[in-house]
Chain A
Amino acid sequence: MEAGSLAIEMRAITKRFPGVLANDAVDFDLRPGEIHALLGENGAGKSTLMNVLTGLYRPDQGGIWVQGQAVAFNSPRDAINRGIGMVHQHFMLVPTQTVTENVLLGLDKPAFFIDLPQCDKVIADLARQYGLEVDPRAKIWQLSVGEQQRVEILKMLYRGVQVLIMDEPTAVLAPQEILQLFDTLRSMVAGGKSVIFISHKLDEVMRIADRVTVLRKGCVTAAGLTAAETNKEKLARLMVGREVLFRLEKNEQPAGSPVLEIENLAATNDRGLPALRGVSLHVCRGEIVGLAGIAGNGQAELAEVVTGIRPATGGCVRIHGEAMVGEGSRGGEERRVRQVIDAGVSYVPADRAAVGTAPNLSVTDNLILKAYRKPPISRGWSIDRTAAHDRAEELRTEYDIMVPTVETSARLLSGGNLQRVILAREISARPKLMVAMQPTRGLDVGAIEGVQRLLLEQRQAGAAVLLVSEELEELMSLSDRIYVIHRGEIMGEVREAEAAQLGMMMTGTRLAEIEAGGRPVR
């Protein structure tokens, strides 16, 4: 293989962080005009490797060649100058600025004064050329997630990148939008660009990639496999290192009486815009009810209203028949939340670090976050620290929380361990209703299995579980019933779910329309 025939070549890349070896002598190459997938579970080192390639990190060892020439990047700007750009998983867009301003950010031209109307036109033309329609004058916070992703791609195209790196681009897209994205990528590649596609989703990788490289725990387990040379099971094993079961053990059990009843719920989001427009659903004892939907369609607000953190502007929420929120309920936020907690509701929030835990308090303190008000932890006005410590030790063993001592600060814990702390806290309270928001996001496969097993155990024990997740496969394998939410309304409820059907509902087609239209469901 001649050096000149590769667009990118990375040899023996090693990168260390305190306590973890993120990349261990990784080799990676990219041919011109190909879509090369970088596969691995969370924490395998894919993002780190790409951050090295784009100049965000400097490798401890190893070298990079672009079109045969050795390069050393000191900053993202160097990488962009050499034609390498990344579309991040978490968008790097300034919400209060317009599309044009975001695209122009960081460039040396225009030199000083900005002629906005002129730039708007240039960017609109570029967008049209690549089929990425978006209004240059719109502010980012006004755009949908799919449109924001288009802005990110435009940013890179405007700078003339030849190598485009997409970091988990489909996490926030509906199935139809994913197809559109794939079309865009294929047409870019046909025009001479190369794409690196980072993902942990096996289906997509098999569909879109020309070649696949698999990382596991910082090492390459398979380099440059073509689709012909592999299949989903092989890739899964390369990713995880052992047989991966794709179906969980879930036995049929009849659901009991309703625990959570939501009727016509309405609420606004932080910006004052309506987030929930008349949502009705129910969850019974002993069942897992899934809520599918693309991020930002009201799921977060729904969870916050049910758990009392957000007020409702209409409708009501009843737990065990008693009105907690909305009509018939009383009290301000604090009382609502306490009432809900006292009624036996547990909440696993989506944002572990920002909402679910207090980073500088100890693991013990985090474990008694809600339990400190009642005996045995509470004793009159004070907290019984011995009782708290003992409880923390119990939970540490039971839930396998890896931490030097229970007095360690929570901020030093890994994502998986933090989630175990939250689950330990919420499940040990023996909840009657559990609201779980994205409980497996960002975790590695072993931890994901653990969380899913715990959810099923709760279902077995008779709890009602409301599971909100962006992973359709997870919802389909765990849930007894699935609701789909879109722009604050329920599009439908299904028992035996199919991905295509769910996908249509997630993008705004009601179940009734799908069934009435008689359209064949692929």
Chain B
Amino acid sequence: MAGYAYEPFGYSKPPGLDKNEPVHPVVIIGAGPIGLALAIDLATKGVKSVVLDDNNVVSVGSRAICWSKRTLEIFDRLGIADRMLEKGVTWKVGRLFHGDNEIYNFNLLPEDGHKFPAFINLQQYYVEQFLVERARDFPDLIDLRFLNKVINHKDTGERVSLLIETPDGAYTLEAEFVIACDGAGSPTRKRMDLAFEGQNFDEHFLIIDVELDESPFKTETAERWFWFEPTFHAGQSALLHKQPDNIYRIDLQLGFEADPAAEVSDERVLPRIKAIIGEKPFRVDWKSVYRFRCARLKEFIHNRVIFAGDSAHVVSPFGARGGNGGIQDVDNLAWKLAAVLKGDAGDGLLESYQEERSLAADENIKNSSRATNFMTPKSQIEREFRAEILNLASQHDFARKLINSGRLSVPCSLKGSSLETVSPNAVVEPGTAAMDAPLKNGANAEWLLGKTGGDFGLVSFGRKPDVAALGMPHHHIVEMCDRHKDSLGDVSGLAMKRYGRDLTYLFRPDQHVAAVFKNPSTMEIEAAKRKALGHG
């Protein structure tokens, strides 16, 4: 039982220490999952970035572990999803217990025909390692600078100037845009003295990652198990997840009164672990006592400084909406920023990042707050309502559905966004993230999501409109029996079942539906694309 080997990333003296560097289009502060994913997404669009991090190792401790289907789809576009899937623990079923009795279970992906599963569990350090290795595939576009700590910045209107400290001294960098991906405690946000408002939860939680050879689950496949008032941890709640390398995440509610310093000590932690797993050998990989909060910045864009991920919004972990929400920020921001830098964007495009991700942040905060509230009743009447829901749940299905141990991350619908084109014929509405479906290209199996994303693209299901070259890919999906060499076969009928028949979809670079047409002209498609690029 050795645990993950933390290999420090190399530091080299930045050129800015010797002579002024040219103005960089994008400087990203923070080499966590959000900052690294953003650098890679920008690189796939040919946009250069410098990534600054005050540290030189991956995340210490597992931290974020649950990566959603949508995150995997985005990471597939960025080129690391296969590695994540191979290393990660796949799961889709959650079970709820009250005391020792199972009262409810849910399947997060009951249907087939998706390339990626509902969730994988993978320690944040692996995700960061894979992202750093992927970033190194773009040596001309991504400039990774570890042990480069931003100590000040100044927005001068047209650009941002950053003061950076390194082991060799301090230097300055100029950037057209700075993206603050520097986490929940964002030094950038604090330096700008921006309000970060929301709900604080007084309850303490203990998070322990334990390595053990024998699974504490009683099922063959990995699942998410959640207990209200388990016998091994009386009166509180508990959560159990499996991670790779035989590491198990145990999350225990400790109550309002808990003393964080005492609770993280071995004398307190070890008996709690033994209460769950018995007298089996184990190794504690990581432990931490937390209080949660749900909060956000009102504005994510402050002229040339843009916030993404935890620096912009934080949630409690029940629902896996933190890391996954941040990756969706990246998905939303990268193509818009690239379009702005290339001069393709209309005035409204960058502002739509605020509009669209604000909607998502509110949805994530709402769901995470509700789950945390359900776990930590604040008054006698709240305790009574919860007790009676758990009581009714043994016999009544409706009560099972009211039990809230976390509503797990799903992509937020951006319906109503200023970038969408009204589409009365839509089966999948504008603003929705694309749904996958299996396809056949000759003898090759392919996936619908693999045919979209990165840039704008059209997909016609059934009849293909006769539109002239539009400077974007146009795929044609037909029933298997109608397949010809220029089309993709709807191998199990799921593509047309999900998207409808004889419709043409315009997908944005982040695989969200921009417009849906019955029988469009070239002009109509071009108008929808212009609208999706923020031109009015």
A and B associate: no
Interface residues of A (CB under 8 A from B): none
